[in-house]
Structure 1
């Protein structure tokens, strides 16, 4: 009776452990591993085993710092499993393909897998495993091209607000002294990247404050970079420089 009571509280009950083969995976890549389940001190029935990929981040909204926790994907990997007391460990192979259009890991944006045993009338057993999602070749080419132009990433760049991830850069060479900052948003796909740039012009003089309040010192542009435009970071940087310059020239003086 005591063992059943303790198992119901999650003490000496069935245990779960997700062992990931690759803890660093690129966008669109495959996460593989095994979920290991072992019996506790009493017989138990596992209603289902679920795995969820979760992202957490913090971002600035006005003068406030806000936090976001969001489930990217989840699934049931097993149902109705009878686990005998002190039964030997068994494993369930896992293979999960990451989407392309999700945030990448940054200082502010983190990922984890949450593995859960749903056991009726008992505290569910859980396992938390961190994972790093890095840019794929196309996204890395885009980021490298921005760096080639001399744009330096700001400290809070890469924040995710639950809808989009924002990258903020300051110029150190190209358009230095002319731009306040460059904001970059992108949505990766297998064969292209959809990009949105916010170009903030550095405005001086009597009407600078008014232009800033009315967002007249900003320019937004949307475009797509195809796979063949993301082969060489030098080539991509030339494309970006041309687009940024053209849009900058359209901002009122």
Structure 2
């Protein structure tokens, strides 16, 4: 009897859980639906809570070191105070709201290399180790985001990889404690001046924020460093915007600028106007009857670490 109690404490003979998604494909802001299926073990079990959480891998900087960790960024409770009898089967349906800032994992049916996304199921089983489950799902872009991404392809930018980094973006109403960077290789016409261009989306129900970071190559008469661009508009306006023209104009300006700011613009670095940062300039364009302001901020604290 004592041995059986020990086994139960380690989850042996207890309930098992399996989460089945109705559709593993979703867009930010939509509902991820499915069922949590609980199968009773060989003895009754009291479950305090059944919890679902969305998790992804995030790069975290600590001093001069970087490491990846799994970060939970949304959670719902789908059941509580449940008793599961021996051999009993329970089904708990759910509809999980996916945050609008959820990173993308798939574009045009192709996975973004470097991205992982999952829904984790946890049972709080009284007196036992928590049996859990982890299921991958795919996050596709919103129409406004896809319109921007299509412009990169039209201009000949090549996708390299994507990841999530801990930190916050200055001047953007970001809710999650991390942001996604989608990295592109520039086309030949810009490759001699720009080694890489990174794209970050931040979204809310009404607006799309597009943040660009260009890694400029240094030269005999020019400095390298990072240059930033920031665009904000409604989702409808983003769909009407000629992003190929806007992106080409911005990239051309960055490629032919003189001067620059050494150092990165990601979380963990510091700088700013009072610490040697330089506001490089500003440009504005009118597309579809709207004014789009963009500022080339070459300041080290554009991205703020946690």
Sort the TM-score into its range (normalised by shorter chain). 0.7 to 0.9
- Count of residue correspondences: 242
Larger RCO (CA within 8 A; separation ≥ 6): 1
TM-score (norm 1): 0.84
Look up the match of 1:230: 238
Look up the match of 1:116: 122
The whole-number CA distance in structure 1 between the counterparts of 2:64 and 2:157 is 25
Once the two structures are superposed, the pairs formed by residues 21-32 of structure 1 within 5 Å of their partners are 21-32=22-33
The whole-number CA distance in structure 2 between the counterparts of 1:193 and 1:70 is 24
Report deviation, 1:173. 4.3
The whole-number CA distance in structure 2 between the counterparts of 1:227 and 1:45 is 46
Q: Does 1:164 align with 2:179?
A: yes
Look up the match of 1:201: 216
Once the two structures are superposed, the pairs formed by residues 240-251 of structure 1 within 5 Å of their partners are 240-251=247-258
Report deviation, 1:198. 2.0
Aligned-residue RMSD, C-alpha? 2.6
Q: Structure 1 residues 181 and 127, CA, compared in 2 at 3 Å: closer, same or farther?
A: closer
Once the two structures are superposed, the pairs formed by residues 1-253 of structure 1 within 5 Å of their partners are 1=1, 3-58=4-59, 66-87=67-88, 89-105=89-105, 106-154=112-160, 157-162=161-166, 163-205=178-220, 207-208=221-222, 211-212=223-224, 215=225, 218-231=226-239, 235-252=242-259
Query: Residue 192 of structure 2 contacts residue 217 of structure 2 at CA under 8 Å; is this kept in 1?
Result: yes
Query: Residue 7 of structure 1 contacts residue 40 of structure 1 at CA under 8 Å; is this kept in 2?
Result: no
Report deviation, 1:63. 8.5
TM-score (norm 2): 0.70
Report deviation, 1:232. 6.3
Look up the match of 2:296: none
Q: Structure 1 residues 150 and 229, CA, compared in 2 at 3 Å: closer, same or farther?
A: farther
